[in-house]
Amino acid sequence: MTAAENVCYTLINVASDSEPPSEVSLKADLEKGEIKAKTEALKKVIIMILNGEKLPGLLMTIIRFVLPLQDHTIKKLLLVFWEIVPKTTPDGKLLQEMILVCDAYRKDLQHPNEFIRGSTLRFLCKLKESELLEPLMPAIRACLEHRHSYVRRNAVLAIYTIYRNFEHLIPDAPELIHDFLVNEKDASCKRNAFMMLIHADQDRALDYLSTCIDQVHTFGDILQLVIVELIYKVCHANPSERARFIRCIYNLLQSSSPAVKYEAAGTLVTLSSAPTAIKAAAQCYIDLIIKESDNNVKLIVLDRLIELKEHPTHERVLQDLVMDILRVLSTPDLEVRKKTLQLALDLVSSRNVEELVIVLKKEVIKTNNVTEHEDTDKYRQLLVRTLHSCSVRFPDMAANVIPVLMEFLSDTNEAAAADVLEFVREAIQRFDNLRPLIIEKMLEVFHAIRTVKIYRGALWILGEYCSTKEDIQSVMTEVRRSLGEIPIVENEIKKETGEVKPEDEVSAAPAQKLVTEMGTYVTQSALSSSRPSKKEEDRPPLRGFLMDGDFYVAASLATTLTKVALRYVALVQDKKKQNSFVAEAMLIMVTVLHLGKCSLPKKPITDDDVDRISLCLKVLSECSPLMNDIFNKECRRSLSHMLAVRLEEEKLSQKKESEKRNVTVQADDPISFMQLTAKNEMTSKEDQFQLSLLAAMGNTQRKEAADPLASKLNKVTQLTGFSDPVYAEAYVHVNQYDIVLDVLVVNQTSDTLQNCTLELATLGDLKLVEKPSPLTLAPHDFANIKANVKVASTENGIIFGNIVYDVSGAASDRNCVVLSDIHIDIMDYIQPASCTDAEFRQMWAEFEWENKVTVNTNITELNEYLQHILKSTNMKCLTPEKALSGFCGFMAANLYARSIFGEDALANVSIEKPFHLGPDAPVNGHIRIRAKSQGMALSLGDKINLSQKKANV
């Protein structure tokens, strides 16, 4: 067995630059030095032994001069020393000197100081020599009756370890501990004793639990947690015991400890699928989320609730708890609120949708009264989207929701207002009966809209859906009110030339005392004109947009006026009224054109907007039936087609989700009867405690694919050549935020290699956690060295280094073998994710790092290339399937992914098929990647560059 394989309980940090002292100087310090010198010398001895030195000459010196000392620091160091020092001769017999050590520890076990007794008992847990432990057994047993709980609880641990390793030394341990447990009052001692009985003699543990099952709720939380674990394990192995213990689990749901409640709820769900059990567990989870202040805890428990919902039989039970789940919205954290709203939306049904909508309306109104905060805007947006989804799924609710949401069209937060507008557009198209209500509310809030994007959308909705003469007149009135006095240019020039009161024009600002950078006072006064700001204030909204140079809204206005004018002509028979209305619409368009061409606005009108307004003027002057059809029928048909496609996509994704959740049972599947099933067949579910322990250790057993290349061997990297004196290869295990390198080192020489050390360094956002300890390799021997590397962000990382060693007996310098680089793949951290088009555009505008990758591939089909990129980069295509179907020789698609660190990655694929180069010509074009961090953008670009070409099979 090599040094690396020895079991180690104590880790000690060794300073790499320290010079190893000589054995003679250490001996002198240990014999004649002061307490401080002896302490330092003992520390050096421990470090040297850990580095592989034997130092047999110092053993007797330490027994004679250090062991009798009563200093607590030295006693602690001696415990470490006796743990690591070799205690046997080369042929495996115990050293004679150890008898003296054994006697010293027997005295320590009877020491009046409880700390010395307790720490000695902890040390005995680490001993693997039964000859050393045998003389100490009576003293260890006596410690069970010590007055101090620290000694008693460590005595229990010592007895448990000795019983597990050397049962013959204390064969009656379970009985002894059972009797101890019955009489013990201290919670930590009871917990240790009960834990031992679970692992050593489960029947005795169950007997004890049966005697005190009614008092479990009075126990300390550490003991309650162990009881939950025992009940889970017993019921998992023997399901017939469930009825006996399930009442105890119910009681533990009322525990004062959040940890116990959480574990009890999780155990209850695995033991019983009865609606009462699921309801009790879910209620417990909800209480935990509300009462716990830590957002991470809230998110973890919410995940448990979401897992419960995934089970079809549990979903119905959770539907009754939707109102309780909504209590979680009182948490200010946006991520918690987001998950809660999504969960509530998944559980909503016709029975509780009305109550849900009432709560959400109250929450929306609350966001108005809160002081503006970045998360308040996002939360309002989430609420609007949730209400939108509720109204689409349950059309009866739309009438209640719309009046509340329409108020937000005048909101300064454009994102929330845009979501409301999208919802209103869909509602007015789908629900004919709500159109008069929506038009009325829209006209009410129209004058208060302050953002140009929302104004454009509101104009479009009014132009498209105003169908009565009164509504059309109201729209025209609102437009004139929003535009101000026309012609605009003349009106603005009049204002500029000073048709305002002289006292408003120029005013002297009051003198101000200011402090300069050097701390001296200066007086500042200036003449300022207050007129422009007053004018800006009084300017109507639409005129304000036009004066700022935003003429896209003018093009939208022209289209709206054309639609309502054509509809008015069809509705009103009076020629005079028809001409009057059309003339007014044309006058508005002409005055806007005039304004765009003059120098008053901040930016002149664009040619596109001029063309659009001119076209509308021409349509109104001719009034042809074809144009009437295009403006008043085709536009609406396009919208209904788009909404139908979107609804179809939503239904398809919901169908896929429900198919995932539905448990399909084949007609010829065997039926499992609990009473007739053998114990070993019963455990259809895996042991949750074992799974969580494996996950914490990073040993999660993923189901290996049938392809042998997907096995562990695929992740083995050769680090040195076969002809090198030391051969090394590493298995790279990526476990979320850390990477474990399991390096196999083989000594291929006939010499003993001493101080063989693996030296590693990292490039990128990787950090080496600890330096691997040196070891000694016998001729042709091998050893495994593990190194942990922490990952901080998503970017390609490189681990490089070398192996250095000394050859035993050689006088030469240290030898060095340089290792090959290990490249850490970014794909281990990237997962497909989805977002809305608006969110994608917003992130695209915000992210500052862009990487443009030129397409260089041998793939000839556009769709095949896109699928290849998606597979290579773990990204998700946001562009709908229908938009990508068909063939036109060109394709544009948006891709999105998120890393486990919460970083977003966006990509836009623009590719084409060059027909002029023949049918076998490869695809060409560009992929633009955007990310918040430079590393993410570059790493993703490198990945695409490396995997663009399809491998020939």
HEC profile for 200-223?
HCHHHHHHHHHHCHHHHHHCCHHH
What is the distance between the alpha carbons of residues 140 and 158, in angstroms, rounded to a whole number? 8
Domain membership flag for residue 874: yes
SS3 485: coil
Q: Is 526 exposed, middle or buried (0-12, 13-18, 19+ CB in 10 A)?
A: exposed
Least confident of 52-61, 279-288, 344-353, 663-672: 663-672
Given a contact cutoff of 8 angstroms between Cβ atoms, the answer to whether 3 and 52 are in contact is yes
**Domain match, 437 and 419 both:** yes
**Which of the four pLDDT bands, split at 50, 70 and 90, describes residue 454?**
confident
**What letter would DSSP give residue 59?**
H
Q: Residue 590 is part of which domain span?
A: 447-494+539-623
Both 414 and 543 in one domain: the answer is no
pLDDT at 494 over 80: no
Does residue 849 share a domain with residue 742?
no
Residue 870 lies in a domain: yes
The whole-number average pLDDT for the span 568-586 is 80
Spell 650-674 as b/e; 16+ CB within 10 A means b. eeeeeeeeeeeeeeeeeeeeeeeee
Please give the share of the chain, as a percent, with pLDDT higher than 70.
82
In a domain, residue 530? The reply is no
Q: 208, 200 in Cβ contact below 8 A?
A: no
Q: Is the pLDDT of residue 677 over 80?
A: no
859, pLDDT greater than 70: yes
Statement: residue 657 has pLDDT above 70? no
Q: Would you say the C-alpha torsion 173, 175, 176, 179 has a positive or negative sign?
A: positive
Beta-bridge mates of residue 731: 716, 742
pLDDT at 453: 83
Condensed to tens digits (0 to 9), the pLDDT of residues 519-572 reads 444 444 444 433 444 444 467 777 777 788 778 888 888 888 888 888 887 777
- In this predicted structure, the answer to whether residue 716 has a pLDDT above a threshold of 80 is yes
Alpha-carbon span 153 to 174, nearest angstrom: 15
Give pLDDT, residue 666. Answer: 62
Residues 728 and 853 in one domain: no
DSSP letter assigned to residue 94:
B
pLDDT tens readout for residues 822-854: 887 777 778 888 888 878 888 898 888 889 989
- Whether the pLDDT of residue 510 is over 50: the answer is no
Of the candidate ranges 6-15, 99-108, 672-681, the one whose mean pLDDT is the lowest: 672-681
Q: What is the pLDDT of residues 915-950, one digit of tens each?
A: 777 778 888 889 999 988 887 888 888 888 888 777
What's the average model confidence in pLDDT over 868-894?
A: 83
pLDDT score, position 335:
86
| 3-state secondary structure string across 827-893 | HHCEEECCCCHHHHHHHHHHCCEEEEEECCCCCCCHHHHHHHHHHHHCCEECCCHHHHCCCCCEEEE
Residue 229 domain flag: no
612 and 566 within one domain = yes
Among all chains, which residue has been given the structure tokens 């180069």?
917
In angstroms, the CA 255 to CA 249 distance is: 10
Q: For the segment 248-268, what is each residue's pLDDT rounded down to a tens digit?
A: 888 888 888 888 888 888 888
CA 440/CA 44 separation, integer angstroms: 87
Mean pLDDT score of the chain: 78
In a domain, 604, yes or no: yes
* Two tokens, residue 28: 């002198």
- Residues 441/406, Cβ–Cβ less than 8 Å: yes
Mean pLDDT of the region 347-376: 76
The per-residue pLDDT for 745 is 92
Residues 441 and 381 both lie in one domain: yes
Rounded-to-integer distance, Cα 600 and Cα 949, Å: 56
pLDDT (0 to 100) of residue 2: 37
Quick check: 120 pLDDT over 50? yes
Name the domain boundary from 575, 598, 623.
Answer: 623
Question: Can you give the pLDDT at residue 688?
Answer: 57
Higher per-residue pLDDT: 650 or 730: 730
Is 883 a residue whose pLDDT tops 70? yes
- Check whether 728 has a pLDDT greater than 90: yes
> How is residue 835 written in tokens?
């977002």
Tally of CB atoms within 10 A around 405:
25
> Angle at Cα 422 formed by Cα 420 and Cα 424, nearest 5°?
70
Instruction: Give me the CATH number covering residue 787.
Output: 2.60.40.1480
Across the range 794-816, mean pLDDT stands at 80
Q: Is residue 696 scored above 60 in pLDDT? A: no
Residue 222 lies in a domain: no
Asked if residue 90 is part of any domain, the answer here is no
Instruction: Answer yes or no: is pLDDT of 186 > 80.
Output: yes
Q: Which of 777, 803, 824 delimits the end of a domain? A: 824
Number of domains in the chain: 4
pLDDT average, residue stretch 476-495: 74
| pLDDT given at position 729 | 92
Listed range (608-622, 648-662, 753-767, 817-831) with the worst mean pLDDT: 648-662
Confidence of residue 372 (pLDDT cuts 50, 70, 90): low
Give residues with Cβ within 8 angstroms of 822, minimum separation 6. Answer: 717, 719, 730, 732, 741, 798, 799, 800
How many other CB atoms are found less than 10 A from the CB of residue 172? 11
Q: What angle do CA 487, 489, 495 make, to 5 degrees?
A: 105
Q: Are 188 and 222 in contact (CB under 8 A)?
A: yes
Tell me: pLDDT of 576 over 50.
Answer: yes
The identity of residue 594, as a single letter, is H
Last residue of a domain, one of 583, 608, 623: 623
pLDDT tens digits, 414-426: 777 787 888 788 8
Q: Looking at the structure, do residues 801 and 755 belong to the same domain, yes or no?
A: yes
The answer to whether residues 845 and 715 belong to one domain is no
At residue 703, does pLDDT exceed 80?
no
Query: Distance (Å, rounded) from C-alpha 111 to C-alpha 68?
Result: 13
The answer on pLDDT for 431 being more than 80 is no
Cβ(163)–Cβ(200) under 8 Å?
yes
Mean pLDDT across 626-634? 69
Query: Is residue 269's pLDDT more than 70?
Result: yes
- The pTM of the full predicted model, rounded to 2 decimals, is 0.66
Placement of tokens 């915000």 in the chain: 846
Residue 469 and residue 567 in one domain:
yes
Residue 663 scores a pLDDT above 70: no
Give yes or no: residues 765 and 817 share one domain. yes
In a domain, 916, yes or no: yes
Overall average pLDDT of the 805-833 stretch: 80
Share of the chain above pLDDT 90, in %: 3
Phi-psi sector, 764: left (phi>0), alpha (psi -120 to 50), beta? left
Cβ neighbours around 331 below 10 Å, total? 18
Q: Which residues, 6 or more positions from 462, have their beta carbon under 8 angstroms from its beta carbon? A: 439, 442, 443, 446, 475, 478, 560, 564
DSSP lists the bridge partners of residue 816 as 804
Q: 359 and 451: one domain?
A: no
CATH no. for residue 874?
3.30.310.10
Query: By the 8 A CB rule, do 119 and 79 touch?
Result: yes
For position 811, what pLDDT does the model report?
66
To 5 degrees, how large is the angle CA 428–CA 433–CA 439?
50
Structure confidence at residue 529 (pLDDT) = 38
Residue 867 pLDDT > 80: yes
| 468 and 604, same domain (yes or no) | yes
Is residue 690 predicted with pLDDT exceeding 70? no
- Among 277-281, 805-809, 895-899, which stretch is predicted with the lowest mean pLDDT? 805-809
- Cβ atoms of 421 and 409 within 8 Å: the answer is yes
Q: What's CA 777's distance to the chain center, in Å? A: 43
Alpha helical stretches, state H, 272-333: 275-291, 295-310, 312-319, 322-325
Angle at 99 between CA 96 and CA 101, to 5 degrees: 115
Q: What is the CA radius of gyration of the chain?
A: 39
